[in-house]
């Protein structure tokens, strides 16, 4: 899917109002079309309801948990119904349930109707009407399994030839059928990996690179540390199972320094306290972490990254619009949220929060300000802000909200009685 493009002339007077312009386009699915009767590509592009139906066709062919290239949420478990001595009513009920479970992971699927099931030997033939956000579409599954491929090959043989299992002709086709089954599985995986909403992580990263949307790596927490004597840059300390290294001076007279945790991630964010020096420093008696400056963050999870890529198709980020500032500032370490506001006079106000969704510390605010539009050279396009954009970075104001509640116990219950049961 491709988002719409916003074409403009690069005149300075036009860029002054770009903060108020956004391009949004509703997602419209597209897939490589497949002939449901043969399982082969048609050479056409399917769109809308047909595209969702192609996705459904492939999804019901994949056995869940069998192939490592697929998410465990993808595929179905209908293979468990094969070989059992179940009634037709039970099979239909279970297929309906398993189909619904298989297809509901797609946000554009609303349900199924007119389900028809035929159990032939070790194969389930399934036909139904798929209900989508874009209309309805008939889906019929003739699974390209080894057995089905062999049956198709034997049917194509001239009349009069022995095609029974064990015959020379049958054995000559066995290896080809087995390989073709693998090809169909690989073809389904290839089709899914072409699209951000179904790609595995490796292909998702490649898709994101095309959009200049990169997965966010884990970052280390940064702290303010206070000591009774000066300490050299590079000095290592230990505290609460983590090591910290001095990276910069905050206030030389007060012996305040910036320290970075050696382990990336969020685990060290919540601890402040006394440190033990791992180096030999004369006169050092007091050492402590006193303030969290920038929260560490874990590596971005796959689904969060997938949603950012999908969002990038709907809103095109270009120099100076809202999407541009959200994308570029949101990628800065320590930033958890970005809110650009309409220009006030000559200033574009932008409010940020930390990646712990708290008020940003002054160090983070200053770092972002320098990255976006240095105060000393505001409006000159030195940072990521275009020429003519004077940007002011601020953070939210935190308010303390006191919440109280009164619990009323039903007859026969008490606080002590509940505590006893919980123990």
- Claim to verify: residue 91 and residue 116 sit in the same structural domain: yes
pLDDT value for 75: 74
- For residue 74, tell me if it sits in a domain: yes
What is the pTM for the complete model shown? Answer: 0.43
- For residue 214, tell me if it sits in a domain: no
Specify whether the CB–CB gap between 277 and 235 falls below 8 A: yes
Query: Distance (Å, rounded) from C-alpha 196 to C-alpha 206?
Result: 9
- For residue 415, tell me if it sits in a domain: yes
- Claim to verify: residue 268 and residue 166 sit in the same structural domain: no
Spell out the per-residue pLDDT of the chain, length 423, in tens: 333 333 332 333 334 444 444 444 456 788 888 877 766 777 788 888 899 888 888 887 777 776 666 677 777 776 666 555 566 677 777 777 888 888 888 888 888 888 777 765 555 677 888 888 888 888 876 555 556 666 666 777 788 788 777 788 777 777 777 776 666 667 667 767 777 777 888 888 888 887 778 888 899 999 999 999 999 999 999 998 899 999 999 999 999 999 999 999 999 998 999 999 999 899 999 999 999 988 888 988 888 888 888 777 765 666 778 888 988 898 888 888 899 998 888 899 999 998 878 889 888 999 999 999 999 999 888 898 998 899 999 999 988 889 988 888 888 788 787 777 766
Give how many domains the chain has, as a whole number. 3
- For residue 302, tell me if it sits in a domain: no
Written as one string, the DSSP assignment of 213-252 is --PPPPB--EEEEEESS---TT-EEEETTEEEEEEEEEET
List pLDDT tens digits, range 155-192.
777 887 887 777 887 777 777 777 766 666 676 677 67
- For residue 413, tell me if it sits in a domain: yes
Query: Distance (Å, rounded) from C-alpha 14 to C-alpha 59?
Result: 47
List pLDDT tens digits, range 90-130.
777 777 788 888 888 888 888 888 877 776 555 567 788 88
- Claim to verify: residue 160 and residue 236 sit in the same structural domain: no
Task: Provide the strand spans (E) within 18-149.
Answer: 30-35, 40-47, 109-120, 123-132, 135-141
- Claim to verify: residue 158 and residue 245 sit in the same structural domain: no
Which residue intervals of 71-165 are DSSP H helices?
Answer: 88-103, 146-155
Alpha-carbon distance values, 321 to 22, 100, 325, 327, 342 (Å): 7, 41, 7, 10, 11
- Claim to verify: residue 260 and residue 373 sit in the same structural domain: no
pLDDT value for 68: 63
**Element (DSSP H or E) covering residue 288:** strand 287-294
- Claim to verify: residue 205 and residue 273 sit in the same structural domain: no
- Claim to verify: residue 198 and residue 91 sit in the same structural domain: yes
- Claim to verify: residue 13 and residue 39 sit in the same structural domain: no
- Claim to verify: residue 161 and residue 288 sit in the same structural domain: no
- For residue 154, tell me if it sits in a domain: yes
| Burial class (CB within 10 angstroms; exposed 0-12, middle 13-18, buried 19+) of 265 | middle
pLDDT value for 130: 87
pLDDT value for 160: 78
- Token representation of residue 306: 């997938």
- Claim to verify: residue 289 and residue 388 sit in the same structural domain: no
Q: Please list, in sequence order, all residues whose beta carbon lies within 8 angstroms of the beta carbon of residue 50, skipping any fewer than 6 positions away.
A: 31, 33, 137
- Claim to verify: residue 38 and residue 138 sit in the same structural domain: yes
Domain end marker among 187, 209, 231: 209
- Token representation of residue 55: 């996705």
Residue 345, domain extent: 1-20+315-423
- For residue 163, tell me if it sits in a domain: yes
- For residue 217, tell me if it sits in a domain: no
Domain end marker among 185, 209, 233: 209
- Claim to verify: residue 114 and residue 189 sit in the same structural domain: yes
Query: Distance (Å, rounded) from C-alpha 21 to C-alpha 342?
Result: 10
């Amino acid at each position: 899917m491709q988002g719409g493009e916003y074409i403009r002339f690069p005149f300075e007077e036009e860029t002054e109002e770009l903060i108020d312009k956004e391009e949004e386009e509703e997602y419209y699915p597209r897939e490589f079309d497949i002939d449901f009767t043969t399982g082969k590509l048609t050479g056409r592009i399917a769109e809308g309801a047909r595209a969702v139906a192609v996705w459904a066709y492939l999804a019901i062919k994949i056995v869940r948990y069998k192939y490592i290239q697929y998410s465990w949420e993808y595929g179905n478990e209908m293979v468990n119904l094969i070989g059992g001595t179940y009634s037709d009513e039970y099979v239909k009920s279970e297929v309906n349930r398993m189909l619904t479970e298989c297809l509901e992971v797609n946000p554009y699927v609303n349900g199924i109707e007119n389900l028809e099931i035929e159990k032939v030997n070790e194969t389930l033939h399934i036909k139904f009407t798929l209900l989508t956000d874009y209309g309805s579409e008939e889906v019929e599954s003739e699974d390209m399994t080894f057995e089905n491929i062999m049956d198709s090959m034997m049917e194509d043989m001239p009349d009069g030839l022995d095609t029974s299992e064990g015959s020379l002709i049958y054995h000559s086709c066995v290896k080809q059928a087995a390989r073709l089954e693998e090809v169909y599985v690989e073809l389904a995986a290839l089709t899914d990996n072409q699209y951000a909403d179904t790609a595995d992580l490796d292909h998702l990263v490649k898709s994101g690179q095309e959009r200049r949307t990169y997965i966010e790596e884990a970052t280390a927490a940064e702290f303010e540390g206070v000591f009774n004597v000066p300490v050299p840059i590079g000095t290592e300390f230990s505290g609460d199972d983590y090591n910290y290294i001095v990276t910069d001076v905050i206030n030389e007279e007060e012996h305040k320094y910036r320290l970075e945790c050696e382990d990336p991630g969020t685990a060290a964010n919540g601890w402040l306290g006394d440190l033990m020096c791992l180096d030999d420093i004369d006169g050092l008696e007091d050492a402590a972490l006193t303030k969290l400056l920038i929260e560490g963050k874990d590596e971005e999870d796959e689904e969060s990254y997938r949603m950012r890529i999908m969002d990038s198709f709907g809103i095109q980020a270009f120099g100076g619009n809202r999407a541009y500032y959200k994308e570029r500032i949101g990628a800065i370490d320590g930033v958890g949220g970005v809110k650009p506001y309409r220009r006030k006079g000559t200033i574009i106000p932008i409010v940020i929060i930390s990646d712990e969704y708290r008020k940003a510390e002054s160090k983070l605010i200053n770092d972002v300000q320098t990255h976006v539009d240095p105060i000393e050279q505001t409006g000159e396009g030195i940072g990521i802000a275009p020429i003519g954009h004077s940007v002011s970075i601020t953070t939210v104001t935190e308010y303390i909200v006191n919440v109280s509640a009164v619990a009323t116990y039903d007859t026969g219950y008490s606080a002590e009685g509940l505590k006893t049961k919980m123990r």
